[in-house]
Chains A and B, each alone.
Chain A
Amino acid sequence: MSSSEDDEEEVRVPLSQRQEWSDVEPIPQDDGPDPVVSIAYTDEFRETMDYFRAVFAADERSTRALELTAEVIDLNAGNYTVWHFRRLILESLQSDLQEEIKFIELVANKATYKNYQIWHHRRWVAEKLGTIATTSELQFTQKVLCLDAKNYHAWSHRQWALQALGGWENELEYCRELLEVDIFNNSAWNQRYFVITKSPFLGGLQAMRDSEVSFCTNAITKNPDNESPWRYLRGLYKGNNEAFVNDPAISKVCICVLEKNRNCVFALSLLLDLLCYGFQPTPDLNRILSTWGFSGSDQKYANFVCLILEKVDPMRARYWIWRRDSLPSHIC
């Protein structure tokens, strides 16, 4: 497949010299005087577009028109009108959509996986194919995420495929694998949350909470400067601050990190949240804060933590000042 593609690149025959196109009058683009052509292959681009305009205007839904859309897409995969027209042709010709899946992979390989049109087209095809596409969609997105683990389109497509076609069984394990490769991958953390809250097999957030807290606090301990698990931890207790503050694992990871790095912004910020939710200071916390010169008698703990944050995170000092100004009155 790749060799025929290479061949075509070398010996491309202009459309104007191809027998099968002799009956078509190309339509040039009508925006202004003759352009100055600065790059060699613009001639090919222009000619292909001119012929496309002609078949598009004639609404010609033929095999040759389908092939022509492939040529246009090859030159500019971002042209959404060509993709639209291609779908109309595929529908009219009742083409084999498994072949279309192969075509998309070819285009995606050559163009970019950050192209909206390719993903939208893929979704359209997979939707038509139904559950027989489950595996292919999960594999395709996995392949793309292998190259770019944060590709927004790929994640979006994968979430759609899971919900529309199924295939949830190994998704939590897949998230674990990706996080093993890169624990900083926020997309994989997001997918993990998606799985534990939406998978029909896992029983939901409540059922998953303890094991997730353990997974998450492990990740934090290994890399305390990683924003994602700190937010994930809060997400596990979303809307339930009391349970959050009463889970000893939460304050423990916070104190543990601060023991090793008293400047860690994320740990300090979680500590601040805990105090705001009513956390009662422990001897460990007193010891840590005393290294910052905290005596415990003259001001609130939370107030002091805010002052530290203003110092260690000067770019967001105004945020921490606001937090200090809006501390609840009844807390430590």
Chain B
Amino acid sequence: MGELEIEKHTQFITSIEKKKDFDSMVMEHLRMSGAYWGLTALDLMGKLDAVDREEVVSWVLQCQHDRGGFSGNIGHDPHILYTLSAVQILALLDKLDAIDADKISAYIEGLQQEDGSFAGDEWGEIDTRFSYCAVCCLSILRRLDKIDVGKAISYVASCKNFDGGFGCTPGGESHSGQIFCCVSALAISGALTHVDRDLLGWWLCERQVKSGGLNGRPEKLADVCYSWWVLSSLTIIDRVHWIDKEKLKTFILDCQDKEHGGISDRPDDAVDVFHTFFGIAGLSLLEYPGLKPLDPAYALPVHVVDRLIFGQPHKQQP
């Protein structure tokens, strides 16, 4: 299966920003998330020094809007997805003092609906992904009390299905990505009692297929990003030993472009920064040697979460 090509992946990630091809233009509007994926992956590999922190911070700050939210890039509209990415980046770089946390909190507070759910932006799209963004972001900012956490929890809980999984809205099909969002949101807000750990754990471990990779839903193909969502959810509910970790490790390592760096969704596909991050993040949760540990719910390195949330080193979450 080979080793994790840390040097090559570092090179791949740091070269993305310099590229100006068609793909990078199409991705231009979600540059904030791209930056979060790339920077977090670099930190996990101990390579964050490969980027100019000041430059990143000044660009992130330029993406903040008067209403408090951040956009995916300069010249775009604010959205909760990019607001979380921006806050995660600043947390990672230990630059949270550069922003007005109250303003961001007010923006997020304004997105909460009567039923406890969250809209992604002023246009009102509702999705449990946004519940996660809201809870995670406010927790990082230590301002969870700005929203109605009880209602937020009960909305997420209302999206639980008979198979133990969660969907995007009540009744929506269980999907690993949505499960990560819901389980993490519940974990961060101290409401994991709403998760049927054994039932969900079994559904999640059924996602592992012969190749060792994990899929997002029954009968779908294994994929590095879904592997992360399943793995992090299993880690949060303390059921990760129910899958074959060695096989998953092999699957992720097989998705590397060993020549040019980067990780793809499946072996031999084209690499991108999204799957590169999720591959490295997955390996970190699998305790791959040489990688820093990652917090499964905040999707930030443990040392960052320790500093921010707990103010001191803490044990791995139960």
**Which A residues are within 8 Å of any B CB, using their own CB?**
29-31, 35-39, 41-42, 45-46, 49, 53, 56, 76, 78-81, 84, 87, 116, 120, 123-124, 150, 152, 155-156, 159-160, 184-187, 190-191, 193-194, 197-198, 227-228, 231-232, 234-235, 238, 315-316, 318-319, 322
Contacts and interface: CB of A to CB of B under 8 A. Distances in A.
Contacts of B72: 80
Given A190-B173, A319-B205, A235 B20 contact: no
A201 B33 CA distance: 44
Contacts of B242: 316, 318-319, 322
A159 B172 contact: yes
B217 interface: yes
Contacts of A123: 125
A227 B202 CA distance: 12
B171 A159 contact: yes
A29 B76 CA distance: 11
Given A38-B22, A39-B21, A316 B163 contact: no
Given A78-B26, A227-B206, A316-B243, A37 B20 contact: yes
Given A35-B20, A79-B29, A316-B242, A187 B123 contact: no
19 contacts: A29-B28, A41-B22, A42-B25, A84-B77, A120-B123, A150-B217, A155-B172, A156-B168, A159-B171, A159-B172, A185-B219, A187-B173, A190-B161, A198-B171, A227-B206, A315-B244, A316-B243, A319-B202, A319-B205
Contacts of B218: 184, 186, 227-228
Given A39-B22, A315-B208, A152 B168 contact: yes
B235 interface: no
What's the dominant secondary structure at chain B's contact region? loop
B219 A45 contact: no
B74 interface: yes
Contact of A156 (B74, B172, B220, B244): B172
Contact of A316 (B26, B28, B71, B206): B206
B77 to A, nearest CB: 5
Interface of B: 20-22, 25-26, 28-30, 59, 71-77, 79, 121, 123-125, 161-163, 167-169, 171-175, 201-203, 205-206, 208, 217-220, 241-244, 247
Contact of A42 (B22, B30, B162, B173): B22
A147 to B, nearest CB: 16
B233 to A, nearest CB: 15
A76 B219 CA distance: 30
A231 B196 CA distance: 15
Contacts of A30: 74
A80 to B, nearest CB: 6
A81 B77 contact: yes
Given A193-B162, A235-B163, A31 B173 contact: no
B62 to A, nearest CB: 10
A231 B172 contact: no
Given A186-B219, A315-B247, A234 B162 contact: yes
A156 B167 CA distance: 9
Contacts of B217: 150, 186-187
A178 to B, nearest CB: 13
A81 B167 CA distance: 26
Contacts of A79: 28-29
Contacts of A87: 123
B218 to A, nearest CB: 4
Contacts of B30: 78
Given A36-B20, A156-B169, A316 B208 contact: yes
Q: Which 4 A-B pairs have the closest CB atoms?
A: A35-B20, A235-B162, A190-B173, A319-B242
A225 to B, nearest CB: 10
A108 to B, nearest CB: 17
B169 A84 contact: no
Contacts of B20: 35-38
A231 B247 contact: no
A228 B161 CA distance: 13
Contacts of A228: 218-219
Nearest to A314: B244
Nearest to A194: B171
Given A31-B74, A190-B167, 13 more contacts: A80-B72, A81-B29, A120-B123, A120-B125, A123-B125, A150-B219, A190-B171, A191-B173, A227-B219, A234-B163, A316-B208, A316-B243, A319-B202
Given A30-B74, A87-B123, A160 B169 contact: yes
Contacts of A198: 171
Nearest to B75: A53
Nearest to B168: A156
A232 B174 CA distance: 12
Contacts of A116: 125
Nearest to A195: B171
A200 B234 CA distance: 36
B249 to A, nearest CB: 14
A36 B15 CA distance: 14
Nearest to B59: A31
Contacts of B26: 76, 78
Contact of A315 (B168, B169, B174, B243): B243
Contact of A81 (B71, B161, B203, B206): B71
Given A30-B74, A81-B29, A186 B162 contact: no
